Amino acid sequence: MRINPQKLASLSPTVLTEFERILETFVVGELTKQASWLPEPPILGQWRTSDDDELDIVIEDDDARVLTFEVKTNERIRGSDFKGIRKLRDAVGKNFVAGVALSTGCGGFGGRV
């Protein structure tokens, strides 16, 4: 699918879903590049539960500390966008460092986990 400004302006759910996939891929690529500079590169992956809760990017270091990212094309981050972050936080306990939700909007920070 070719995405252009006119298609994005239409706010079509199909176009926004495709754009979100492209944005996620971009963010994963950038984080992968940044992580490669570290003396001990962390493990990067995705996370999904049997209930279909998911996180776009999970970064785990050698000490089992976990940092997560959720990428959204919404203008604002909603409380429900933190569901997967909260679930992983509860699962890993003290090894959870932070959960970050990124959006394309200018509405400010959506909240803290």
| CATH of the domain spanning 5-103, picked from 3.30.950, 2.60.40, 1.10.10, 3.40.1350 | 3.40.1350
Tokens of 98: 């932070």
List the domain boundaries for the chain: 5-103
The alpha carbon dihedral of 21, 23, 26, 32 has a sign of: negative
The two structure tokens encoding residue 90: 């509860």
Work out the end-to-end distance of the chain between its first and last CA atoms, rounded to an integer number of angstroms. Answer: 35
pTM here is: 0.77
pLDDT in tens, 12-47: 778 878 888 888 888 889 988 988 888 888 888 888
List of E strands, 36-77: 43-48, 54-60, 66-72
C-alpha span between 111 and 75 (Å, rounded): 14
Give CA separation, 103 vs 36, 81, 91, 107, 113, in Å: 24, 10, 25, 9, 16
pLDDT at 49 over 80: yes
Q: 57-105, pLDDT tens digit by residue?
A: 999 998 999 999 998 887 778 888 889 999 999 999 999 999 998 887 7
